[in-house]
């Protein structure tokens, strides 16, 4: 099995979701109770003070293009502070409902139960919303999640500069020019009456890690020649599974290899529980093309490779531009394989920006969230910029677990040195794979190439 998206050595794909559920803000007034001048007369408090000034606006492989313009828009998440005692109660509840030895095992919470347990006082969200309204943000661009602890806002970048007293620039990736982000180059703050209610503002200072396309190696020369010569090893049922998708795929993992090794259902005819559900999430232009799904299913004899639900837009035309789709297609195709050729409903959610917080917030806001979610993305912990971000994501993971939702995260291909490499011989844990509230999935190779049998970890 493989932790990241690749057609290589044994891939047991973590299955994932992103459900950007509609947020509820029905209890909020639509008119501001204060003016912007009221907030300007207050003192300011810097947020995320543990982040050093030199870290702002600095990221490998990104170059600064220029100041934001009047047409630039931002989508931010304002994360409210939790009562530490409430978070501790949530943790204890999650451990209880997840432990078969506990009498509370399986007694999962509802969204309302979680809101009652950890949701900040409604006045906190009201205060932040009043601040946004006073600065001219339209009510329709302000959404409060069901747990009342995250406010998503869409606003002009130049207005954000004024509200957060920071300077915003557009940055572009040096290799993938389509990857462009607006980020702050200095610290940011909020008025003294609002700042104590807020843990941090997401997507102001974090740069996503833009990954290259997966590397698919050529099969070992001996393996390739043995396929063509019809040697004895390839006459066995195990080895034959490696040839099930035709000559071009000989030596690679096929659906038949996974089915044989892990006893996966091979057909829609095999029985599955009626309430099974899987969800995948894709970020940064990773869409899918139905034609490729059909070709994969037809070539490898899979009953059905399809997507039941799309959360957000699937722009399949991007696949023709040479930059997208490989990762998304592999996720979808192999998740369908693992689910018995489409026997389990599969959902896919898309987001242009890479934000684990944005994704898991959407999961927790969805009353019908799928039961299994797989994420094949991550950064080093150090690349998360602040501990506040990771703590908030961990709280969202605990919420999901307390509802009976399982989350699987790819451990990454870089080993203990992480994406930053072995400089100074310092290990770099991967986040969110390092979170204690998810299942981190690594990878294996077969000990004997092209023979279904014993495995070795890598």
Both 63 and 191 in a single domain? Answer: yes
In a domain, 406, yes or no: yes
pLDDT, position 29: 46
pLDDT of residue 388: 84
User: Is residue 55, in this structure, part of any structural domain at all?
Assistant: yes
Mark whether 315 and 382 lie in a shared domain: yes
Is residue 208, in this structure, part of any structural domain at all?
Answer: no
The reply to whether 114 falls in a domain is: no
Locate tokens 């099969």: which residue? 219
Tokens in use for 358?
Answer: 């944005």
Q: How many residues does the chain have?
A: 458
Pull the structure tokens for residue 147.
């747990």
Q: Are 399 and 362 in contact (CB under 8 A)?
A: no
| Average pLDDT score over residue span 147-158 | 96
Q: What does the mean pLDDT of the chain come to? A: 81
Q: 174 with 275, same domain?
A: no
Is 104 within 8 Å of 94 (Cβ atoms)? no
Asked if 157 and 253 sit in the same domain, the reply is no
End position of a domain, from candidates 202, 219, 249: 202
Span 394-400, mean pLDDT? 97
Contact predicate 421/391, CB 8 Å = no
Indicate if the pLDDT at residue 216 is higher than 50. no
Q: Give burial (CB, 10 Å; 0-12/13-18/19+) of 43.
A: exposed
Domain co-membership, 176 together with 322: no
Cα angle 66-69-70, degrees, rounded to a multiple of 5: 175
Same domain, 387 and 260: yes
* Cα distance between residue 196 and residue 260, in whole Å: 56
Residues 242 and 195 in one domain: no
Q: Tokens in use for 456?
A: 């070795």
Confidence (pTM): 0.81
Same domain, 273 and 140: no
Are 197 and 261 within one domain?
no
User: Are 120 and 149 within 8 A, CB to CB?
Assistant: yes
Structural domain span for residue 449: 238-457
Would you tell me how many other CB atoms lie within 10 Å of the CB of residue 422?
A: 13
Between 419 and 125, whose confidence is greater? 125
371: domain CATH number? 3.40.50.200
* pLDDT greater than 90 at residue 208: no
Same domain, residue pair 332 and 188:
no
In the chain, the percentage of residues whose pLDDT exceeds 90 is: 38
Asked if residues 207 and 55 have their Cβ atoms less than 8 Å apart, the reply is: no
Q: Does residue 127 surpass a pLDDT of 90?
A: yes
Structurally, the chain folds into a number of domains equal to: 2
E-only strand ranges, 284-412: 309-311, 346-351, 372-375, 379-380, 406-410
Lowest average pLDDT, out of 110-119, 164-173, 445-454, goes to: 445-454
Of 87-101, 189-203, 362-376, 419-433, the range with the lowest mean pLDDT is 419-433
Most confident of 29-43, 91-105, 162-176, 253-267: 91-105
* Most confident of the following: 286-290, 358-362, 421-425: 358-362
Residue 49 belongs to some domain of the structure? yes
Does the residue 318 lie in any domain? yes
pLDDT of residue 373: 94
For tokens 């190696």, the residue is 217
Burial of 118 (0-12, 13-18, 19+ CB in 10 A): buried
Residue 245 lies in a domain: yes
Domain assignment present for residue 422? The answer is yes
Q: Mark whether 179 and 244 lie in a shared domain.
A: no
Residue 66 and residue 157 in contact, taking contact as beta carbons nearer than 8 Å: no
Integer Cα distance of 127 and 195 in angstroms:
10
Q: Which of 202, 222, 248 is the last residue of a domain?
A: 202
User: What does the pLDDT average to over 226-250?
Assistant: 57
Question: Among 155, 179, 202, where does a domain finish?
Answer: 202
Mean pLDDT check: name the lowest of 30-34, 390-394, 416-420.
Answer: 30-34
pLDDT of 271 reads: 63
**Higher pLDDT pick, 451 / 316:** 451
- In the chain, % helix, strand, coil (3-state, to 5) comes to 35, 20, 50
With a pLDDT cut of 70, the percent of the chain lying above it is: 80
pLDDT at 108 over 60: yes
Cβ-proximal residues to 422 (8 Å cutoff; 6+ apart), any chain: none
Examine the domain organization and report whether 190 and 262 are in the same domain. Answer: no
Question: Other CB atoms closer than 10 Å to residue 2's CB: what's the count?
Answer: 26
Asked if residues 356 and 377 have their Cβ atoms less than 8 Å apart, the reply is: yes
Question: Residue 402 and residue 88: Cα distance in Å, rounded?
Answer: 13
What pLDDT, on a 0 to 100 scale, did the predictor assign at position 157? 96
Q: Kind and range of the H or E element at 64?
A: strand 62-67
């Amino acid at each position: 099995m493989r932790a990241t998206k690749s057609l290589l050595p044994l891939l047991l794909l973590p299955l994932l979701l992103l459900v950007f559920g509609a947020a509820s803000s029905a209890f909020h007034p639509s008119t501001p109770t204060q003016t912007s001048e009221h907030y300007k007369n207050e003192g300011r408090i810097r947020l995320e003070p543990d982040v050093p000034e030199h870290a702002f606006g600095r990221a490998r492989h990104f170059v600064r293009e220029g100041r934001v313009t009047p047409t630039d828009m931002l989508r931010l998440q304002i994360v409210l502070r939790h009562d530490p005692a409430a978070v501790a109660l949530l943790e204890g509840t999650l451990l209880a409902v997840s432990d078969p030895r506990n009498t509370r095992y399986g007694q999962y919470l509802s969204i309302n139960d979680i809101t009652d347990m950890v949701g900040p006082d409604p006045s906190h969200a009201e205060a932040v919303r009043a601040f946004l309204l006073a600065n001219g943000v339209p009510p329709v661009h302000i959404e409060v999640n069901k747990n009342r602890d995250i406010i998503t806002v869409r606003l002009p970048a130049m207005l954000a500069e004024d509200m957060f007293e920071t300077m915003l620039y557009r940055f572009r990736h040096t290799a993938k020019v389509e990857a462009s982000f607006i980020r702050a180059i200095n610290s940011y703050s909020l008025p003294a009456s609002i700042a104590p209610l807020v843990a941090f503002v997401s997507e102001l200072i974090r740069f996503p890690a833009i990954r290259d396309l997966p590397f698919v190696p050529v099969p070992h020369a001996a393996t390739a020649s043995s396929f063509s010569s019809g040697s004895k090893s390839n006459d066995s049922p195990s080895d034959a599974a490696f040839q099930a998708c035709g000559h071009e795929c000989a030596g690679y993992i096929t659906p038949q290899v996974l089915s044989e090794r892990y006893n996966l259902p091979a057909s829609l005819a095999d029985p599955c529980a009626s309430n099974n559900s899987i969800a995948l999430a894709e970020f940064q232009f990773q869409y899918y093309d139905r034609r490729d799904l059909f070709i994969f299913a037809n070539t490898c004899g899979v009953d059905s490779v399809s997507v039941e639900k799309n959360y957000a837009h699937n722009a399949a035309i991007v696949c023709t531009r040479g930059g997208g789709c490989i990762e998304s297609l592999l996720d979808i195709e192999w998740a369908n394989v693992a689910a018995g050729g489409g026997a389990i409903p599969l959902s896919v959610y898309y987001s242009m920006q890479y934000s684990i917080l944005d994704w898991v917030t959407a999961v927790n806001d969805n009353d019908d969230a799928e039961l299994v979610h797989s994420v094949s993305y991550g950064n080093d912990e150090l690349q998360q910029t602040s501990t506040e971000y990771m703590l908030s994501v961990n709280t969202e993971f605990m919420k999901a677990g307390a509802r009976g939702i399982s989350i699987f995260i790819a451990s990454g291909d870089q080993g203990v040195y992480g994406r930053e490499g072995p400089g100074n011989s310092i290990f770099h844990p991967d986040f969110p794979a390092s979170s204690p509230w998810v299942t981190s999935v690594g990878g294996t190779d077969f000990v004997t190439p092209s023979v279904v049998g014993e495995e070795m970890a890598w």
